[in-house]
Structure 1
C-alpha cells in the first residue's frame, strides 16, 4: 500500500469568518450549539483552561462572552455544563489538542491601534490514505446520519466508538451488532474533520482498518480519520477531494 502524506499548511489572513471577533475593544466568543444546556463555559490558555470560571450568557439564542485580551495567540474550547469539552466548529483556526481532537486557535494583533483577530487555517493533518477503503462500511444514510460499520473477529460483548466528536469518551456512544461480528455506529455530525477508534469490551482500543485514512495518534499508533462535507448540496463522508 502506498503512503501519501498531506502536509499541514498554516495560512494567516486578516479576513475572519469565525464566531470570534473584536467588538468595542473586547474579544467576543459566540457559540450556537448546546442551546438547551443550563450553562456553557469558555476555557483556554487565557484562563489556564479552567472549565468553570468563564460562564457564557445566552443572548438572542446564542451563547456569548466578551474578554479583554492583550495581543497574542490563544487556544480555547467550550465546556458544556462544566464537563463536556467541545471544539468550536467555526473557530478562526485549529491546532492539535494532544488528545486526538482540536483546540480553536486565533492570533490577536494590534493593527494601527485597532485589535484584529487573525484567521489561522490548518488544512489537514499528515494522513496515510487507505486505498482499500470500502464506502459501504462508512456512509451517510437517508436521514443525514453518518454510519460507520466495524468488523471484529474476536470476542466482543459490547463495542463503543470514541473520537474527537465526543471528547474521546469510551462509554458515550454504543455500537450495535447488526450481523455476526459486524458492529454499527450511527453519528450525528456537522461538517468537519474527525478522528476515531472503536473500543471493545470497554478497554481494548482498536483502529478501524476500513477508515478512509489514518493519522498518528500520538502514542505510537494510529487513529482512523474521515471528513464530513457537502458535495452538490448533499452531505458526504470520506475524504474531500
Structure 2
C-alpha cells in the first residue's frame, strides 16, 4: 500500500494506491504488522502475532472491530467470532494472522472509512444554504442513497470498473481545485467523506470527463450554466414504528405546504422512516397512514391546529425568546406572526413575574409578529393594534443593508419588495444621520424593491440596476450571492 498526502494551494488531496498485500513474518527489528486494507476488492486485516496488547487495543478501537475477538484469536486460536462475522482465515502461523472478507453494502462503509481514517481524516467543506428551501430529501434511481455512518458519507459510483481513475469534486472540495481520487472496489468506485448535516453539490470526474451522478435524480443549476448533482446529509429522522400492514405512509407538514402524498416514507423491518434535512426552524407535521392522518405517537411535542386537534412539532436550532412586558392581569396571551401564518391559537405564552414569554426556533429571515391577549392584538410595544395592521419586525441573519440618501427631510421611509409581499407600510427604515437604513436577510439570487417615501413610491436613486414593471414605473434590482 502506498499513501501520498499532497498539499496543493493549501488544500488537502489524497492519493491512494492499493496493492495486494501478503504480509510475511517481519524481523523483530521491524514494527509489528497491523493493517486494515482493501486488496483486490476484499477487506483484509493483517496482524503480527508479536503485537503488544496496547497496540492491538488501539487497532481494535480505531477500526471498530471488537466483534471479531482478535485477542482470543491471536492468543488462543479462537476463530468462531471471525467466522460468524463472515470473515475467513487466510494465514495463521506462529508469526502472522491474515483474515479477509468480501464487503457487503454496510461493510464497505465500515471498511473504507476505517482504512482512510487510519491514514488521514477527510473532514472538508461546508454545506451550501438551503436558500428558499425548508427541507431536502434524497432521490436516487435504482439504488439507495449513499450510506451515512457517524457523519461519514460514502460517495459511490457504480458500474465504472473499466475507468482508470475517478475523482470526486463538489462544493465541499472547492470543486476541481480539491478533487479527491476515489477508491476502486470491483466494478464500483468509493470514497468516504466526513460531512456535517446540510446540502451539498457534487460531480464525478471519470478519466477526465465531468459527469453528474447517473443514479441521482436531483440536479440543480449553479447560476453559471452548470448542472450539478445534489446530496442532502440529513439532520432528522421521521420514524413511525409498527403499521407493518399499511400499504403507504406519507409525512406532511408546514415545511412542505401540508401537501398530501408528496413525501413518501420508506418501509423498514420495524415500521416506516425517512431521513430529512430540515433548515433551522420550528415545524409541525403528521403522518398519513393509508389515507388516515395521525400525530406522531413517539413525539410528545404537539401544537393545536385549526381543526381542534393537534399536530406533532419539532424544532431544529436554537430558540429566540419572545418577551411581552406587562399585561400581568391577562388570562391568556399567544404569539403569532408571519412565521406561523398568524395563527392566534397556536403558540401559548407562559406567564412570568413581569409579563409573558415563549421560546421559539426560527431560521435566518425577516419576520413580523404581534401578540394576541384575551382577544386583542398587541404590538411589541404593548400598544393595541388592529388585525390587518403590520406587526413588529425583527430580522435574523441580516446579510444586506438597504440605504437611501438625500431624503433627510422625509418623515417616514419604508422598504417594499418581493421579500415582504410589496407591503408599503410593514418594513419601516431607521434614520441615521442624513440617510435611511434597514438591514434585512435576503435569499441568494435576484430581488426587486422600491422605497416608499412619505407615501410616494420611488426606485433607488443610488442603484443603477433596475427593470421595468407592469405599472411603467420600474423596480430597483439587487443581486445576492
Normalising by structure 2, report the TM-score: 0.22
- Name the one with the larger helix percent: 2
TM-score, structure 1 length as denominator?
A: 0.40
User: Which structure's residues are more often strand, by fraction?
Assistant: 1
Quick one: higher RCO (CA 8 Å, sep 6+), 1 or 2?
1
